[in-house]
Amino acid sequence: MIKSILFVFLGGGLGSALRYGLGTWLNQNNELALGTFSVNILGSLIIGLLMGWFLKGSNLDEGMRLFLAVGFCGGFTTFSAFALEQVNMIKNGALSHALIYATSSIVLGVLAVFLGLWLSRQF
């Protein structure tokens, strides 16, 4: 268990550092959050490639899967995990669940930020 956590920790640190660097670079003089958008799309592509590779029976061990897919992609962007969950729901025929999950995640996530901002001003 400790070894698995270490793989996720190291991959997550690498992914987070890369997200910060790439996002900062791409967001310079950009009002459209191009860095965040690009990182989300790139992270989704990377997790799709990795999961496809793992499903094809790659010879990488579980530690590398944890380092790359859970750690690196999770640190790089949680949007990649969200996108993979969407694809899995759609592939499993749960289109309505995918739509509800996507819509509620975005709407409730934005509302939660507004609520957090409001609550922080109250105390």
Q: What is the DSSP letter of 59?
A: S
User: For the purposes of burial, counting CB atoms within 10 Å of the CB of 123, is it exposed (0-12), middle (13-18) or buried (19 or more)?
Assistant: exposed
pLDDT in tens, 12-39: 999 999 999 998 999 898 777 888 888 9
Query: Stretch 5-17: mean pLDDT, rounded?
Result: 97
**Rounded Cα gap, residues 90 and 14, in angstroms:** 30
pLDDT in tens, 96-113: 999 999 999 999 989 998
pLDDT reading at 123 higher than 80 = no
Instruction: Mention every residue, 6+ apart, whose C-beta is less than 8 A from residue 48.
Output: 83, 84, 87
**Rounded Cα gap, residues 74 and 67, in angstroms:** 10
pTM: 0.76
